[in-house]
Amino acid sequence: MKAKDEVEKKAPLQIEGEELPRVVTMKMKHAPPPGFEEMLRVFPFANRAGVMFCFGDTIYNPSKVRVPQWIVEHEAIHMKQQLNMGVEAWWKRYLIDVNFRLDQEVPAHQAEYRCFCEMNPRDRNARRRALRDMAARLSGVLYGRMIRFEDAQRLIKNRKERVNGDSQGVVSADQGADL
């Protein structure tokens, strides 16, 4: 029997050629994460209802909203990234380096979108709305407007793209990259 604060990922998760175990368990806490005050200094909109944080193997959900499976997929990517780099080092860099933040958020948003699509294979309109909402979040004030909306959509759909090294996170599509 699982504790009620644990969330299970039921789908395999692919990260840079590695496959995680079939089920990844993350803890859930209904509280702000460690370092929340510093996060708010960088991301003043992070205290909005529904904003969640991954800190190691724990999803912090201060507003106690329902967590859909595709968000667990998103946070599981951050868990893997943080455990590979060290949780404290990851957060320190994430808060100060816009390009690093984009590099970390793109695969998390891609995993989120793939999971949503797998869970909604017959609802093209729902998939379109979800992509729009995810791109709006990635390109919006929550993450500091680090990328244009159109570029966020293309990256989330996982087309062949490159991110230029400038501080604006400008993205340009390769020719014939429509996969």
pTM across the whole model: 0.78
C-alpha distance from residue 171 to each of 37, 67, 76, 135, 136 (Å):
31, 30, 25, 13, 15
Tokens matching residue 70: 């595709």
List all residues 6 or more positions away from 19 whose beta carbon is below 8 Å from its beta carbon.
12, 13
| Domain locations in the chain as residue ranges | 1-96, 98-179
Give the total residue count for the chain. Answer: 179
Using CA atoms, how far apart are residues 17 and 2, in angstroms rounded to an integer?
29
The pair phi, psi for residue 8, each rounded to 5°, is: -105, 140
- Please list the pLDDT of the chain residue by residue as tens digits (179 residues): 444 444 444 444 444 445 554 467 899 999 999 999 999 999 999 999 999 999 999 999 999 999 999 999 999 999 999 999 999 999 999 999 999 999 999 999 999 999 999 999 999 999 999 999 999 999 999 999 999 999 999 999 985 444 444 333 333 332 222 21
